[in-house]
Structure 1
Amino acid sequence: MTTNTKRAKLAPLLVDVAVPVGGYYLLKDAFGMSTLAALGWSSVVPALRTVWSAVRERRLNALAALILFVNVVGLLLSLVAGDPRLMLAKDSGVSSAIGIGILVSVALGRPMMTEGMKPWLLKGDAAREAAWARLVAGSADFRRAEKVFSVVWGVVLLGECVVRVVGAYTLPVDTMVWLGNVIMIAAMVIGFLVSGALAAGPMTRMLLAETSRADRTAIDPTATATDRTTVTPPSASALAVAGAAAE
């Protein structure tokens, strides 16, 4: 992965996480804004980035649009209720909406997280892509692992939602501003570890095995899915018996 690619992947994270947190404390402590005002203004930059991305790419990213919608609704509700805790709790609405959407996609037989996982496993390899298609068509274990990957992420995101809502209404607002992001990062780490162990890892091994089998078949069309037939040379005693019978 090139340096430019790494920066491109890191920039949205900095805008969506670092800017809101740093902006909140700067506006509240340095400029003396109220908690509600600081939360609202610190959310402006991520909202503008979402809109700009939609305009620049000429297509609406469903996830980005969902995040923007939750931010706007949360801000409006907070202005009406005057409750900064509601603004913190609304962040969990993104996780819960995505988590529910992922689980529904699994129930419908179209696991949503597959599109995010697939490029990492295929690595742009045409042989692996062909192996993926064969496994999806003929391997129940592979399809099961594919669903498990999405189920893990759906459950993790719903769990994150519950933890953040509880924290928003039980911990000080200043604490939850930074702790909410810690919870999010911890949930991501758990999601990567568990989904990797239960799904991505086994799927990678099945892909490699299927790719290797296809390579062997290409070299020797008579090769089976296991190993080629091995001819064992006759033992000395068998040769002796055969010779005696011939005499």
Structure 2
Amino acid sequence: MTDVTSATGVPSAPDVPSTAPVPRGRALWESFAPLVVDAVLPMAAYYALSKGFGMGTVASLGWSSALPAARTVWGLVKDRRLNGLAALILVVNIVGLLLSTVSGDARLMLAKDSAVSSVIGLVVLASAFGRRPLMTTGLKPWVVKGDPVRLAAWDRLSAGDARFRRTERTFSLVWGTALLAECVARVVGAYTLPVDTMVWLGNVILGVAVIAAMLVGGGLAADPMEKTVDAEVRKGAEAA
């Protein structure tokens, strides 16, 4: 990555590339477009196959789960590197699909989706206590907005500001907790409600969990971190 700081740590104007800040709407779409592929499209595929083409419940669930699995594989191929979390999600999907096919239990297939959420939630929670909280990958572009000066400010804060690091961890803690709560709710629903109901209700539960995590995580972490980055940018400009 091109060094955009001078020897004093202040952003150097001649070295700053002319990269336009990423619009917030575009950043939001790039962050949550996978949710459309993993939740909305499979739900539509299930109802099309089961109601439109008369396919069985288990078969419809199986084929509708193929799209998220294919997206995960494509991500591995496109990035040309093994993402541990993506690979784990793919394995859980395949194992759940095989178990459901052997047992013929549609409820087990629905519960499999909850297993994916629980795995992600646990990994996110664990990462909050590590060197690099997992949700930082999605939060950082949102805060820096594609601006090299803001990116340099983020890197300085992340490297040396304990309060900034704690807030960064809080964001992952909020998301990990929300995903685990979503997992519990979907497992209970998978074994107590009709399958046709849980196909759409499961996505509603997921959506509620995501919105709750966005609101709580925004208030506790994203907004304070954005203001801290703004202050760091102003500080650097004044020093320059």
Q: Which interval holds the TM-score relative to the shorter structure?
A: 0.7 to 0.9
Query: Shift of the alpha carbon at 1:30?
Result: 2.5
- Select the residue among 125, 147, 150 that pairs with 2:169: 147
CA shift digits 1:174-227 (9 cap, x unpaired):
000011111111111111111110011111111111211221122xxxxxxxxx
Alpha-carbon separation, structure 2, partners of 1:139 and 1:10: 29
| Higher RCO structure, 1 or 2 (CA under 8 Å, sep 6+) | 2
Partner secondary structure for residue 20 of structure 1 = helix
Query: Shift of the alpha carbon at 1:78?
Result: 1.1
Match of residue 128 from structure 1: 150
Structure-1-length-normalised TM-score: 0.79
1:119 and 2:141 correspond: yes
Q: Which amino acid aligns with 1:30?
A: G
Structure-2-length-normalised TM-score: 0.81
The alpha-carbon distance between structure 1 residues 206 and 52, as it changes in their structure 2 partners (threshold 3 A), is closer
Partner secondary structure for residue 128 of structure 2 = helix
The alpha-carbon distance between structure 1 residues 151 and 124, as it changes in their structure 2 partners (threshold 3 A), is same
Structure 1 unpaired stretches of 5+: 219-247
Q: How many residues align?
A: 218
Structure 2 unpaired stretches of 5+: 1-22
Partner secondary structure for residue 81 of structure 2 = coil
Higher deviation after alignment, 75-84 or 181-190: 75-84
Identity of aligned pairs, percent?
59
Q: Which amino acid aligns with 2:185?
A: V
Note the aligned Cα RMSD (angstroms): 2.5
Higher deviation after alignment, 183-192 or 65-74: 65-74
Query: Shift of the alpha carbon at 1:110?
Result: 2.4
- Pairing 1:40-79 to 2, within 5 Å after superposition: 40-79=62-101
Q: Which amino acid aligns with 1:96?
A: S
Q: Which amino acid aligns with 1:162?
A: V
1:92 and 2:114 correspond: yes
Alpha-carbon separation, structure 2, partners of 1:106 and 1:4: 26
Structure showing greater Rg: 1
Q: Which amino acid aligns with 1:172?
A: P
